[in-house]
Structure 1
């Protein structure tokens, strides 16, 4: 698995300028385009699916600010597991230290499974002048983590990062029939990846999960041992909640117990 640069925009990538160009089921999202990307008119491109899942820029900026406060200073690499058209990756790449100039992350890795979507992300990041500050990967983010943990030699040299100093941001697809209407959304039904599958893949590192606003807090709480604090934040735009983010520390493995220790217990 290697990083990629300058993927070409395809027929699946759109920059609509008039309402009449927009499919009817996307028109309400397009009418909010300046909330999603204030620089939309500068040449932002989106795939049709991306309109449903992109993080609005005000939310992306705020949650990255919170994310930086959640992680320790030694976390110098961040992996955006579902890059989409770049909303979160752009904000991660623009994050700075308290001086307002020094980049907070030495490396931002953005992974996306769909080539057209990743081409949009690279185009959009260029508009914000951060495309070259992001290492782009076209592929399966779960496969990436598996290789990173078990076969790093199968990754390009620029992708072999130290897990101990790496953190994860994940805004997965939500899927399922109920997240828009359920009063409390059951995260075991989230498609194609439910909460348990995501946490199992990410638990070796501090990670942030961007989830439906009505997600079941009890299910999130069960991810961590008793007594361990996690932060869960609701993010709103113009007074309306858009999503919640759970900031979850890496799991601490219990030390192995030797047979001698067991015999003494």
Structure 2
């Protein structure tokens, strides 16, 4: 079985393979920094993975995609089919297809779907994958009916509008594309009540809580998991659906634990800023004592340890075990002003640190350029000095030869005078 996908521009893409297998030198200036993260995006990057310029900064890291697939399966083992809206380069689609019977990837960008199709073949999940070309904001009724019948769970990583979200203290979820957070959720709930969104790390949790209560009722909650990669918050996983909520926890206890977790999160970030990595944080997810029963090995890039809250990313190695998804801060959005203040305070500190590091790098580069320039000046001076020394030596040698010649002439004249010769001819 192969992926049956009609792309009007397929022939054009096939004639431009270099467009989807970019080297670092061919990446745009703003995307070059993602080159060193290529194996964290796709562990099989060197086996023919396709990505265009946009996908370099929009693909979900593989460790997070693996965690998400395992988390969904652990919460609801009955799920058979997952819809990946805005599938992009297929980072999540591939991992869903590896864990579930079927994954449907949908995107309006033909280049993205072309990359997803290729990447599914690279990972060997083409038999579990179906791809659809379509705009979610203007999806045909026939396609919508088909998805309602097939899909058990809906995942979406809506476009964040590029990397500019990092420059904002708080990300307004109404600026998600192609629809606001409210309209997106309304359309998603028509497909399934089990929904997960991957949102920016600085998303407005108060806004998220208010929309949740508006659409699902005054007592409704959504579950928020903060995902980390290499010690930094990558984004938020926001879950909707009864089977994805913490069990046997009343609202008062939930609020207390939420405050405790965010305080621990704040302490953890302060510890990281001081250079002391303290990974003893106990998360609400850990308190649920979740253990994944399946234990198997596959080629992957992510490794983890039981006392670490981050995934360490390296180049692919053989037969590495998938990480257990136990290292993510877990909380619940419930109109918590303190939670937002902590997140925003941490975001500001991170930006200050980034500016300071950038300043240090610029100063270091400036000093290096000054040293190079000074070396050039010194080299030029030494060269000129050497030339002057050689000239003086030549002048001294010429003068010595001349003096020696004069001395010889005087000696000859004396010899001639002694023999009676005056040197005059008549």
d(CA) in 1 for partners of 2:153, 2:127: 20
Q: Tell me the secondary structure at the aligned position of residue 245 of structure 1.
A: strand
Counterpart contact for 1:84–1:112, Cα < 8 Å: yes
Q: Deviations over 1:46-72 (max 9, x none)?
A: 0111112110101111122223334x3
Question: Which residue number corresponds to residue 45 of structure 1?
Answer: 50
Q: Kindly indicate whether the alpha-carbon contact (under 8 Å) linking 1:175 and 1:192 is maintained by their aligned counterparts in 2.
A: no
Q: Given that residues 187 and 195 in structure 1 are in contact (C-alpha distance below 8 angstroms), is that contact kept between their aligned partners in structure 2?
A: yes
Aligned with residue 223 of structure 2, among 214, 218, 231: 231
Cα separation, 1, equivalents of 2:178 and 2:28: 25
**Which of 217, 221, 241 is 2:209 aligned to?**
221
Q: Say whether the 8 Å CA contact 1:77–1:161 is kept in structure 2.
A: no
TM-score, normalised to structure 1, is 0.77
Are the structure 2 counterparts of residues 172 and 20 from structure 1 closer, same or farther at C-alpha, using a change threshold of 3 Å? same
Query: Who is 1:126 aligned against?
Result: 121
Q: Aligned to 1:21, which of 26, 42, 62? A: 26
Task: Give the match for residue 301 of structure 2.
Answer: none
Equivalent residue, structure 1, for 2:196: 208
TM-score (norm 2): 0.50
Match of 1:84, SS?
coil
Q: Extract unaligned runs of 5+ from structure 2.
A: 243-426
Asked if the contact 1:174/1:192 (under 8 Å) is kept, the reply is no
Count, aligned residues: 229
Q: Are the counterparts in 2 of residues 15 and 45 from structure 1 also a CA contact under 8 Å? A: yes
In the aligned structure 2, how far is the partner of 1:68 from the partner of 1:187?
Answer: 27
Alignment partner, residue 158 of structure 2: 172
**1:79 counterpart = 2:77:** no
Structure 1 unaligned residues grouped into runs of 5+: 96-104, 153-158, 251-265
**Range with greater deviation from structure 2 (183-192 or 7-16):** 7-16
C-alpha distance in 2, partners of 1:83/1:55?
A: 10
4+ runs deviating over 6 angstroms: none
For the 8 Å contact 1:178–1:185, the answer to whether it is kept is: no
Residue deviations 1:92-127 (CA, integer Å, cap 9, x gap): 0011xxxxxxxxx33211011111211111111111
What is the aligned-residue RMSD (CA, Å)? 2.5
**Rg comparison, structure with higher value:** 2
Aligned position for 2:135: 140
Matched, 1:162 2:149: yes
Q: Deviations for 1:180-211, whole angstroms, at most 9, x for unmatched residues?
A: 12222111223432211211111231110110
Residue of structure 2 equivalent to 1:185: 171
